[in-house]
Amino acid sequence: MEWAERSMPVLRAIRERFTATRPLQGRRVAACLQVTAETAGLIATLVAGGAEVTLAASNPLSTQDDTAAALVEEYGVGVFARAGVSLDTYYQHINAALDIGPDLVLDEGCDLVNTLHTSRTELLDQVRGGTEATTTGVIRLHQMARERVLRFPMVAVNDTPTKRMFDNRYGTGQSTLDGLMRATNIMLAGRTIVIAGYGACGTGLAERARGMGAQVVITEIDPVKALDATLQGYRVMPMSEAAAIGDVFITVTGSRDVLRAEHFAVMKDGALLANSGHFDVEIDVAALASMAVERRTWIRHQVDEYVLPDGRRLILLAEGRLVNLGVADGHPAAVMDMACANQALTVAWLAERLPLKNDHGSGAQERPELEPRVHPVPTEIDTEVARLKLDSMKIKIDTPTPAQEEYLRSWRLGTQ
């Protein structure tokens, strides 16, 4: 945790501010996030701000058990997480974190908010709002809002530029290849890597794979993204064609069954399959298991080999769950710095906008209530995170002159 903190100067600055101003005094916060050293820095920041916090894992494989223990021991946080739990235990943990009776929530993938709206509805009235940290979670929240079932406002931290442009792109790009290499020690140069999905994660992953000398193939369903990938110089084709030529397949789409039986049927012997997108649904693992005549688990961490009737071996990493968190340590702290800073500042902003229902002393109550839908991170927060990050890197930028500001505001001047 100390090692991670060294690369998280923005979060450190926010923690110092929170220690002095206590913006979360008296607030109860339940979080469902990857339990890593970087998340620990975020949780410690919320505690420094005065909150009582519980934390459940947002992934059954990714928990760093030593970090979970340290958060309990040294910060008094109720942590409900252990690496490699069953799905039942995973949801028991989310329920245990919710037992705190939160008035603010932090989610990542929407499992906690989903649990609140389905099996823990008795807690809904006291929840004032929350944050969502990943693309898939935001998509689900929009759907809940559309169906008018979302009961409190949620802020889409994922969508703010200082999160998505850096975490999803550079973070996923680096940590996914890290997971792939830790699991297999594969040489990427000269291999054909098929990346399904050319969104924020896919672009970062493709750039980094190309940088390692791999031949990158992109599959997409969006014509604009497919065109972009083509003009970036990647080969673009449907998965039905890519399946036969790939050495490594990585899914980052947020969708399900992107790799399925018809693809496994034509893949090369020894093909590696990994997901770095969403839960364990992007690769149809059940179909792979039912096609296989044998399954061998290698001594290396999270490497399962499925032997098909014709003798071909397909190798699945991290059980089809996120390879960067299941095998490696997730994104580097330097990029999580911005994701965590956005979450900390947004939770404080929500606490100010949404005081506890029995708190009558605060002027904030005079502001209009936030509606129960998906809200953007306020631009000031995004800009502040970028400014603090640049400051920490000792990078300075220009400021517009008064004449430039005037020019950018006006429409009267044409060609001169």
* Sites of contact with ligand NAD (CB under 6 A): 134-136, 167-168, 172, 196-202, 219-222, 225, 252-255, 258, 276-278, 322, 324
**Closest to 238 measured CA to CA, from 256, 257, 220:** 220
Characterize the bridge pairing of strands 313-317 and 303-307.
antiparallel
133 contact, one of ligand NAD, ligand SAH, none, CB 5-8 Å limit per kind: ligand SAH
Q: Does position 162 bind ligand SAH by CB under 6 A? A: no
Task: Determine the Cα–Cα distance for residues 283 and 254; give it in Å rounded to an integer.
Answer: 11
Smaller CB separation from ligand SAH, 214 or 322 = 322
**Contact between residue 35 and residue 57 where contact means Cβ atoms under 8 Å apart:** yes
336 contact, one of ligand NAD, ligand SAH, none, CB 5-8 Å limit per kind: ligand SAH
**Closest to 62 measured CA to CA, from 85, 44, 46:** 85
Which residue from 52, 103, 108, 304 is in contact with ligand SAH, where contact means CB under 6 A? Answer: 108
Smaller CB separation from ligand SAH, 133 or 209 = 133
DSSP bridge pairs for 359: none
Task: Determine the Cα–Cα distance for residues 30 and 261; give it in Å rounded to an integer.
Answer: 39
**Contact between residue 49 and residue 348 where contact means Cβ atoms under 8 Å apart:** yes
Smaller CB separation from ligand NAD, 200 or 248 = 200
Report in angstroms how near the CB of residue 380 gets to ligand SAH at its nearest: 22
Return the residue nearest ligand SAH (CB atom): 330
Q: Is the dihedral of CA 287, 292, 294, 295 positive or negative?
A: negative
Report in angstroms how near the CB of residue 228 gets to ligand SAH at its nearest: 22
Tokens of 333: 């702290």
215 contact, one of ligand NAD, ligand SAH, none, CB 5-8 Å limit per kind: none
**Alpha helix positions (H), 106-169:** 111-118, 135-146, 161-163
Task: Determine the Cα–Cα distance for residues 77 and 53; give it in Å rounded to an integer.
Answer: 6
Smaller CB separation from ligand NAD, 46 or 156 = 156
Smaller CB separation from ligand NAD, 52 or 337 = 337
Instruction: Provide CB contacts within 8 A for 196, sequence distance 6+.
Output: 202, 218, 219, 220, 239, 249, 250, 251, 252, 253, 258, 259, 282
Smaller CB separation from ligand NAD, 163 or 389 = 163
38 contact, one of ligand NAD, ligand SAH, none, CB 5-8 Å limit per kind: ligand SAH
DSSP bridge pairs for 305: 296, 315
255 contact, one of ligand NAD, ligand SAH, none, CB 5-8 Å limit per kind: ligand NAD
Which residue from 10, 55, 339, 341 is in contact with ligand SAH, where contact means CB under 6 A? Answer: 339
Which residue from 29, 39, 202, 273 is in contact with ligand SAH, where contact means CB under 6 A? Answer: 39
Q: Give me the residue label for tokens 């974190």.
A: 97
Which residue from 54, 134, 174, 251 is in contact with ligand SAH, where contact means CB under 6 A? Answer: 134
If you ran DSSP here, which 8-state letter would residue 285 be given? H
Smaller CB separation from ligand SAH, 243 or 327 = 327
Integer Rg of the chain from CA = 23
Report in angstroms how near the CB of residue 47 gets to ligand NAD at its nearest: 24
Which residue from 18, 27, 34, 272 is in contact with ligand SAH, where contact means CB under 6 A? Answer: 34
306 contact, one of ligand NAD, ligand SAH, none, CB 5-8 Å limit per kind: none
Smaller CB separation from ligand NAD, 15 or 263 = 263
**Per CB under 6 A, which of residues 222..261 are in contact with ligand SAH?**
none
Report the b/e string of 297-307 with b at 16+ CB within 10 A: eeeeebbbebb
Report in angstroms how near the CB of residue 141 gets to ligand SAH at its nearest: 13
Smaller CB separation from ligand SAH, 30 or 242 = 30
323 backbone dihedrals φ, ψ, rounded to 5°: -70, -30
Beta strands in 148-236 (DSSP E): 154-156, 192-196, 215-219, 235-236
Contact residues: ligand SAH, CB under 6 A:
34, 36, 38-39, 58-59, 108-109, 133-134, 136, 167, 171, 278-279, 322, 325, 329-331, 336, 339
